[in-house]
Amino acid sequence: MPPYATLNLTLPDGTEIRDRLDPAEGDFSFAKDHCCVRIGQCLFEGDLHDYQIHYESEQVRADVKLHGNVPAWRTGTGHIFFGESDYFAWIPAVPEGSVQVSIVRDGNEESYTGTGYHDHNWGNIGMFVLMHHWYWGRCKVGDYQIISSYITAGPQYGYAHTPVFMLAKGGEIISDTNVQPVYEETDLAFDEVTGKHYFKTLIYDYDDGRQHYRITYRMEEMLEQDVMIKQEAVRVAMMQQGLDPTYTRFSGTAVVERLENGAVVEHVDAPALWELMYFGLDAQV
């Protein structure tokens, strides 16, 4: 598949802009010693702390400066192995950062500032082969920054579960990657659009013996429900192979609680977004 670049932009008034650039044949390059990807006139370059992003097509031009407020992080080596050799790898290069954005469209320039995030994943086999589904979320709650995921492997791996969790405070990572949180999901519901069950409440309980935190995501609204295979005949054929990829994005409230001797001594909350990526058939596993 030839490389391409995309820009998805949602404006404050709800207007959505989706643009794609397909470069001329051979008009792309990739560095091997650091993050530097060029596709046509589009560029993504950085050093695990600061990133410059440029997107340019006939319809829109965007320039983004992303500065990390939290150090680059990974859980262990960043690799999750499925069996002896197949793996999925993931690193949040900027778990949370400050962003400056300039956008030019229709001859008008607009400038924005805010918070940003950058991660990268790769592997040696398609994720849909390895995973049944996952929940993934990130949020900034007061002085806390959280990245959380709960991955359920496919049936050939016994639906094994892998939690991924990072907790930072004031820009310093305070969680230990060797300590896995206790995960809980409650308030089961069913989405008629995707045909999948989901949980309205997700809880990550982290206790490393020195500090105890409980992170709770409480759903309030569905922002996106997407059946990724649009052709019904193709979808039915894939379902016979155990595949039915769907995507759901949620909005709601994230709550951070700090506990001492079993009692909550600190409570902060903030709006948050999280997602459910579902590759397999609907199953409560």
Asked if residue 209 and residue 84 are part of one domain, the reply reads: no
Instruction: Give the total number of structural domains in the chain.
Output: 2
pLDDT for the residue 15: 85
Asked if residue 193 and residue 91 are part of one domain, the reply reads: no
CA distance 26 to 55: 18
Q: Which of 80, 101, 125 is the last residue of a domain?
A: 125
What is the reported pTM? 0.89
Asked if residue 114 and residue 23 are part of one domain, the reply reads: yes
Asked if residue 188 and residue 72 are part of one domain, the reply reads: no
Write out the chain's pLDDT in tens, 285 residues.
889 999 998 888 888 889 999 999 999 999 999 999 999 999 999 999 999 999 999 999 999 999 999 999 998 899 999 999 999 999 999 999 999 999 999 999 999 999 999 999 999 999 999 999 999 999 999 999 999 999 999 999 999 999 999 999 999 999 998 899 999 999 999 999 999 999 999 999 999 999 999 999 999 999 999 999 989 999 999 999 999 999 999 999 999 999 999 999 999 999 999 999 999 999 988
Asked if residue 161 and residue 73 are part of one domain, the reply reads: no
225: enclosing H helix or E strand: strand 212-227
Q: Which of 59, 91, 125 is the last residue of a domain?
A: 125
pLDDT for the residue 62: 98
Q: Which domain holds residue 108?
A: 1-125
pLDDT for the residue 254: 98
Q: What is the dihedral of CA 32, 75, 73, 142, to 10 degrees?
A: 150
Contacts of 261 (CB under 8 A, 6+ apart): none
Phi, psi (5° rounding) for residue 155?
Answer: -60, -30
Asked if residue 231 and residue 93 are part of one domain, the reply reads: no
Asked if residue 116 and residue 153 are part of one domain, the reply reads: no
Asked if residue 165 and residue 225 are part of one domain, the reply reads: yes
